A = this chain, B = another copy of it.
């Protein structure tokens, strides 16, 4: 079995790994598609991010879908041949946070392709993956592997929408139109946002944003005043989904959010300087949103029922053996939205 293994920044290799055997409650999945995520890119470009650094070789990847090829004992509801999206999230089910309904905050989380714990949690960019049956969600026959593999980032944005509360009658700003921002637009639209304005500094990203449901797009590198105009009165937006991780996007958002507006932070950069007086005077709420829990099943269900169309995000698929080319393409926002590997 071959896998995509990161050894250090810019050192990505295709390597042989011993296959695993599905134990009780587990299944073996032949991976078909795997999406390259921002965190994968951070490992590839920088060997990590923030305090999280590679300390041993690690299989990358956590946005995957495939086909079940073998069942362990005591698996119910799944069969060989089923096509599934695989959640990368394996909370322990026993810690205080799991028992409080917050498994995404699990103290013992095992999340594919993460160098946070040591030994690292090996990822899912591999030909065969043994996963818990509970991680595997069946996809409908007419859903492509690429769409199915978008379940994970779509779940991230559904969780962000859940963090915002009801979007009924809400005017929404989405800052940053990479894959997460784009999916946030789709998720917000599917949950009733009244109006969606999307911002980015790259026109190709904004073109996708417009295509998938933004009512208006603004290139804030070229026309920052178009966004600033929403700051009239005390602001115009009820909710901001901040998917850029960029300090300027946060600050611009605080200016155009209404009093009691909610900024849901999804994207992650480093430290950002925020104007405390504005947060106080407008009584703004900044809410972090981290991964997902029940939203993974919801993502698959929403895709299966064709309530959303995620295909405009699929801008390139590479054979997994060409992972280096794929990762280089994924880092170029002028060319790509979501890049995936085919296995």
Contacts and interface: CB of A to CB of B under 8 A. Distances in A.
A99 B98 contact: yes
Interface in A118-172: 158, 161-163, 165-169
A259 interface: yes
Contacts of A107: 233-234
A19 to B, nearest CB: 31
Among A233, A275, A286, residue most surrounded by chain B Cβ atoms (within 10 Å): A286
A155 B67 CA distance: 45
Contact of A290 (B165, B270, B282, B289): B282
A288 interface: yes
Contacts of A280: 265-266, 268, 288-290
Contacts of A100: 101
A328 interface: no
Contacts of A268: 276-277, 280
Interface string A170-196: 000000000000000000001110100
Contact of A105 (B158, B163, B191, B260): B260
- A contact face: mostly helix, strand, loop, or mixed: mixed
Interface in A215-272: 233-234, 245, 250, 259-260, 265-266, 268-272
Nearest to A98: B99
A93 interface: yes
A201 B94 CA distance: 39
Contact of A286 (B269, B271, B279, B290): B279
A74 interface: no
A301 interface: yes
A79 interface: no
B298 A288 contact: no
A276 B98 contact: no
A299 to B, nearest CB: 10
Interface residues of A, number: 62
A107 B259 CA distance: 11
A50 interface: yes
A234 B105 contact: yes
A27 interface: no
A274 interface: yes
Contacts of A275: 270-271
A305 to B, nearest CB: 9
A188 to B, nearest CB: 9
Interface centre among A191, A192, A281 (most CB of B within 10 A): A192
A99 B97 contact: no
A211 interface: no
Interface in A264-320: 265-266, 268-290, 294-295, 298, 301-302
A98 B94 CA distance: 10
A168 B161 contact: yes
Interface of A: 50, 93-94, 97-105, 107, 158, 161-163, 165-169, 190-192, 194, 233-234, 245, 250, 259-260, 265-266, 268-290, 294-295, 298, 301-302
5 contacts: A165-B165, A168-B191, A168-B298, A271-B275, A282-B288
